[in-house]
Amino acid sequence: MRYFRLFAAAVMAFVVLESWAVDIIPTPLKYEKRNGVFTILTTTKITHYQGLRSSANYLAEHLPLQIREYNGASAGDIVLSTNKNLSEEEYFLDISQQGITIEGGSAAGLHNGIETLLQLLPSTVYSGDVALPAMLTACHIEDRPRFEYRGFMLDVCRTWMDKEKVKRFISNLAHHKINHLHLHLSDDEGWRVEIKSHPELAEVGGFRGVDSPVAARYGRWDEHYGGYYTHEDIREIVAYAAERNIEIIPEIDLPGHSHNLARVRPEVLCNYTPGLKASDGYDTRSVMCVAKEENYALLEDVIRELSELFPSPYIHIGGDEVSTSQWERCPDCQALMRREGMSEARELQDYFTRRVAAIVEKYGKHPGVWNEAARGNALPQGALVYGWESVKACQDATSKGYRTVVMPGEYFYFDMRQSRREEGHDWAAIFDAKKPLSFGFEKFTDEQMAHVAGVQASFFSEAYISRLEYDYDFLYYQTYPRICALSEVAWCGRGAEWEEFYARLKNSHYSRMVAMGIDFRLFPPTVNYKDGVLTASTDDRSHIYYTILGEQGEQLYTQPIRTDHPERYAFLTRSGGAHSPEAGVAKRFSRLQPKVKITSSITESERFPYSNAEGYGRISRTSRTGRDGDWILYTFEQAVECRRLEVRTGNLQLPRYIFNAGYMEVSYDGKTFTRVGELKNGGAAIDNPKRAIKAVRVVCTESGNGADFVTVQEPMVFPIL
Ligand code: TNX
């Protein structure tokens, strides 16, 4: 029996191996298949040269073999060494009948080689239960990255992600040869790193809602929500990342995005009477005053501590989306402008950047900045510019001679939704993994290319907090397989042809991600309806499930379905924790747009009147935030018959600018109203109403929402199918 199992495993390994070898993500520079195989046995040893013990440990975490230091003999082993003739991140990986050798230009190169070896092994190396013996086809790989900066930015402010969550994210980035994690540690909604010289920054600013001076913004309104990393946590994260060839770049986002800091330390704001109070009493000013010397002293304390905590040569000081309106009204900023001979308030941002960059340099680091801060001439040459607004913004920074990280939102913001029917932002674009994979540097001149440090993608987390309780992790759904595409572009310097790349995903990488425990996004199944028969198919070996309107539960799809009502069916696919969005005939997802009149106890905003919401598709506002007892009323010209009617206050993508609490009422005659549900994330719905609905009212029961208006949306009306 034992022999049979061995034999079966060997045959299976062999069959699948032929395709594994070519399914490496990102594509290695040079791969040559050789004759023969090498079998890793339970007795195979990981032999490392001196000083490479931690690389051996890392490999052994996935491939539980005995480790020993090289002592002259290594036949039949997996040998880890460095080779001075290779560049730092370069590696050679050789598999022959005699054994496996990985040579790296340094421990970093060796790490890259180990990641490639893991991809050549059964995907269970990622779930910690790889079965040995494992047979590998002989090959020779020579590989090195096109870019030295291959990054990902994680916003841990809008949604708090604890140490363990970040470490797990890091471990998965490492499997994709991403070597920088840009940690967005401060923003309007949270301060996430302990500062010992100013403990209140994190102790108070790390939390929002309830008794915190920081307003809750996107969810968990009735919680004291948040958290922060202690110095000890940061050291642990930094070390964990370093073992995986990942450098962590900390970001403090200033002088804009400082609402949090300003709530904790109001004195950082400009010196004028706040005219910008939200109707629930919050001071909405959020830009640090440029003219206050104390502000630079505070920042010096922060930067000093960050410089000690993070070994990275960079400290990112933000600089995006800075509004100058507060500086324009501040007598101190105005006096500073006169003293410095500035003609535009915008120049105050350059002044701020220059001052803070000098502090960063004083502590032996270079500043990282968002591209807006590179517009003037405030940056020292050693600065690293992050181009997020557009491809052009990236090119402009390189033309100025700045080392630039390319991350235009329309290709690399993975908080964007992946199709019209999915969730997330859409201000930059709506795109799936094909888009980042299609990124190329065609528009860049050689001169500009010389300044490209690399490529980065990001996940901003405003839309995440209200989705934390999903039965899958929305962070991973949004970021994979888009990170696989990022990895290809960042490592190879160009994308790949989609069909070829998708084949690698389907044949091998999906099962690796399943083993990594990643709740990634699958592509939707293809659905067809012809001659009364509904068929669904998928090409990725995932399972297809379907739901029928009005019926409970999900069923496994095994054969075509004969039906006169295809519009009642929605299909999706699943594989491990991964799933696809729903697909079906177009009618299944259609909406009604009955004529409606919107009125409210709150007057409308002059700029964005809610009477416009009638136009279906626009976002409109009230003139102040909601108070207990306020209401918004939707009256239909003609009573509507529907299977579901949903109303939401706040933005479409995230529960911001909502009625924080309240309920929904419906009326069938336009006069008497019946309460049908509580607001959740600003919205509520009625399913299968028995009669046509004439009017819907949402009533507010909690004053305030941290802003000075409520967003009003058109009602969502779903037809009876
Ligand atoms: C723009 S990216 C921002 C962030 C938002 C993000 C949402 C950048 C430098 N600023 O503050 O979270 O869009 O996609």
Which of helix, strand or coil describes residue 150? strand
Of all protein residues, the one whose alpha carbon is nearest to atom 13 of ligand 1 is 460
Q: Give the list of residues 6+ apart from residue 478 with CB closer than 8 angstroms, or none.
A: 414, 415, 418, 424, 459, 464, 521
Q: What is the pLDDT of residue 18?
A: 43
Of all protein residues, the one whose alpha carbon is nearest to atom 12 of ligand 1 is 460
Q: Could you read off the pLDDT of 267-285 as tens digits, one per residue?
A: 999 988 776 676 666 777 8
Give the model's confidence band at 98: pLDDT under 50 very low, under 70 low, under 90 confident, else very high. Answer: very high
239 neighbors 309 (Cβ within 8 angstroms): no
Q: What is the pLDDT of residue 178?
A: 98
Ligand 1 centre from 425 Cα, in Å?
10
Minimum-distance ligand 1 atom for the alpha carbon of 158: 12
Residue 531, CA distances (Å) to 480, 558, 560 in order: 37, 19, 11
Give the model's confidence band at 217: pLDDT under 50 very low, under 70 low, under 90 confident, else very high. Answer: confident
Q: Could you read off the pLDDT of 598-613 as tens digits, one per residue?
A: 999 999 998 889 887 7
Ligand 1 centre from 460 Cα, in Å?
6
pLDDT at 264 over 80: yes
Q: What is the pLDDT of residue 707?
A: 83
Q: What is the pLDDT of residue 280?
A: 64
Residues with CB under 6 A from ligand 1: 320-321, 370, 388, 413, 415, 425, 460, 462
pLDDT at 338 over 60: yes
pLDDT at 15 over 90: no
Q: What is the pLDDT of residue 10?
A: 43
Give the model's confidence band at 237: pLDDT under 50 very low, under 70 low, under 90 confident, else very high. Answer: very high
Q: Give the list of residues 6+ apart from residue 279 with CB closer than 8 angstroms, or none.
A: 624, 625, 704, 708
Whole-angstrom distance, CA of residue 182 vs CA of residue 457: 10
Mutate to test the pocket of ligand 1, among 187, 320, 412 (most ligand atoms within 8 A of CB): 320
Which residue type does 97 have? Answer: Q
Average pLDDT on 180-184 reads 98
pLDDT at 17 over 60: no
Of all protein residues, the one whose alpha carbon is nearest to atom 7 of ligand 1 is 460
Ligand 1 centre from 413 Cα, in Å?
9
Ligand 1 centre from 95 Cα, in Å?
45
Mutate to test the pocket of ligand 1, among 189, 321, 414, 479 (most ligand atoms within 8 A of CB): 321
Q: What is the pLDDT of residue 7?
A: 42
Q: What is the pLDDT of residue 70?
A: 96
Q: Give the list of residues 6+ apart from residue 2 with CB closer than 8 angstroms, or none.
A: none
Give the model's confidence band at 514: pLDDT under 50 very low, under 70 low, under 90 confident, else very high. Answer: very high
pTM: 0.94
pLDDT at 4 over 60: no
Ligand 1 centre from 670 Cα, in Å?
42
Average pLDDT on 654-663 reads 93
What is the torsional sign of CA 386, 392, 393, 397?
positive
Q: Give the list of residues 6+ apart from residue 453 with CB closer than 8 angstroms, or none.
A: 147, 148, 149, 384, 403, 404, 405
Ligand 1 centre from 385 Cα, in Å?
15
Residue 4 vs residue 113, higher pLDDT: 113
What stretch of H or E contains 66?
strand 66-69
Ligand 1 centre from 594 Cα, in Å?
35
Q: What is the pLDDT of residue 21?
A: 41
Give the model's confidence band at 121: pLDDT under 50 very low, under 70 low, under 90 confident, else very high. Answer: very high
Average pLDDT on 429-445 reads 97
pLDDT at 477 over 70: yes
Percent of the chain topping pLDDT 70: 95
**Torsion angle defined by CA atoms of residues 559, 564, 568 and 570, in that order, rounded to the nearest 10 degrees:** 30
Whole-angstrom distance, CA of residue 282 vs CA of residue 708: 9
Q: What is the pLDDT of residue 616?
A: 66
Of all protein residues, the one whose alpha carbon is nearest to atom 6 of ligand 1 is 460
Of 9-23, 205-219, 460-474, 676-690, where does mean pLDDT reach its minimum?
9-23
Q: Give the list of residues 6+ apart from residue 686 with CB closer than 8 angstroms, or none.
A: 644, 645, 664, 666, 676, 677, 693, 696
pLDDT at 476 over 60: yes
Residue 309, CA distances (Å) to 248, 249, 273, 314, 369 in order: 10, 11, 37, 12, 19
Q: Determine phi and psi for 655, rounding to 5 degrees.
A: -75, 75
- Which of 426, 414, 534 shows the shortest CA–CA distance to 476? 414
Which neighbouring-strand residues pair with 545?
A: 556, 572
Q: Determine phi and psi for 293, rounding to 5 degrees.
A: -60, -35
Of all protein residues, the one whose alpha carbon is nearest to atom 2 of ligand 1 is 388
pLDDT at 60 over 80: yes
Average pLDDT on 205-209 reads 95
Give the model's confidence band at 653: pLDDT under 50 very low, under 70 low, under 90 confident, else very high. Answer: confident
Ligand 1 centre from 569 Cα, in Å?
37
Average pLDDT on 182-211 reads 96
Number of neighbouring beta carbons within 10 Å of residue 115: 21
Tokens 């136009």 locate to: 615
Q: What is the pLDDT of residue 705?
A: 87
Ligand 1 centre from 147 Cα, in Å?
24
pLDDT at 631 over 70: yes
Mutate to test the pocket of ligand 1, among 460, 461, 479, 653 (most ligand atoms within 8 A of CB): 460
Of all protein residues, the one whose alpha carbon is nearest to atom 10 of ligand 1 is 320
Ligand 1 centre from 3 Cα, in Å?
58
Of 254-263, 270-279, 449-458, 670-679, where does mean pLDDT reach its minimum?
270-279
- Report H helices in 157-310: 163-174, 200-203, 231-242, 259-264, 293-309
Minimum-distance ligand 1 atom for the alpha carbon of 413: 14
Of all protein residues, the one whose alpha carbon is nearest to atom 14 of ligand 1 is 460
Minimum-distance ligand 1 atom for the alpha carbon of 318: 9
Number of neighbouring beta carbons within 10 Å of residue 240: 18
Of all protein residues, the one whose alpha carbon is nearest to atom 5 of ligand 1 is 460
Ligand 1 centre from 255 Cα, in Å?
14
Of 526-535, 614-623, 641-650, where does mean pLDDT reach its minimum?
614-623
Q: Which two tokens stand for residue 181?
A: 């994690």
Burial of 529 (0-12, 13-18, 19+ CB in 10 A): middle
Residues shown for the chain: 721
